Amino acid sequence: ARKYIPFKIDQLIWNYHVIEHRAAKQMTVIFMGLRTELYARVQGWLSAAGVAPLLLEGVSASLARAVGAERASRKDAFVAAVDVESDSAHITIARSGVPYLSRELSLTGSEEQRRDILVSELRLSLEFFAREQAGAVIERVLLFGEQHTLSSWCAGLSEQLSCRVEVGTMPVKAAQMGMAPLEYAAAAGVALGGLRGGRVPLELLARAAAPRAAMSSPSALLAQSPQLIKALARPVAIQA
């Protein structure tokens, strides 16, 4: 894990999700972490607003869940979800509601310059993921954000990336909750996680409440996590 995680474990609020590939006798471990000082800052904002959170996770997990119900022509196909804001964008490559890769981008300049930056960074992300995940098929790219602007980008992005690029659609349950605008994709994803109940993969709030010794001690972690023991005993790909 030290090879892939650029921070000390005891400086993070973190969680993981194990995916078994029975036919290949392998496992993939998806790791998500948040710096403790950033976690404390977010909790401070929520406390000041009088809000008690039920679920806290990274944007990539929320976006992956928001697009998890999208139908794919192939069961093993991935989808890239892109949440575009006025000065930034978040890219998440996901499958079956689980994020495998995420990136945060800065978008500056005119609309054309922002689009060009997005195309360049998307191409790098898709090519990197294809190299890291042998045989991976990214079926399409879904854009979320200001719909009028994004609709005008789709054709050009599709041509330049040689991949279907479409404006995303909000999950039905999210639309029923009044989260119809595409700008609410990440918020809809985390809300859907709260509705499901039970264990939510990569959720950070419950992990933060765990004793620090259990979070930082490898032996304590392994004693509580038989899935992780199995994963470490086999070839593992740890994704950020």
Q: DSSP characters for the chain?
A: -TTT--S-GGGEEEEEEEEEETTTTEEEEEEEEEEHHHHHHHHHHHHHTT---S----HHHHHHHHTTT---SSTT-EEEEEEE-SSEEEEEEEETTEEEEEEEEE--SSHHHHHHHHHHHHHHHHHHHHHHSTT--EEEEEEES-HHHHHHHHHHHHHHHTSEEEE----HHHHHTT--SGGGHHHHHHHHHHHH-S--TT--HHHHHS-HHHHH-HHHHHHH-HHHHHHHTS-EEEE-
Residue 4, pLDDT score: 58
Higher pLDDT, 230 or 150: 150
pLDDT tens-digit map of 16-61:
888 888 887 888 888 888 889 999 999 999 899 998 888 888 899 9
Strand-pair partners of 94: 79, 99
Q: Which amino acid, 151?
A: S
Q: Which of 134, 99, 139 is nearest to 19 (CA)?
A: 99
Residue 140, pLDDT score: 92
Higher pLDDT, 134 or 238: 134
DSSP state of 9: G
pLDDT tens-digit map of 146-197:
988 999 999 999 999 999 999 998 876 656 665 568 888 888 888 888 776 5
| pTM for this entry | 0.79
Residue 210, pLDDT score: 67
Residue 159, pLDDT score: 95
C-alpha span between 68 and 96 (Å, rounded):
5
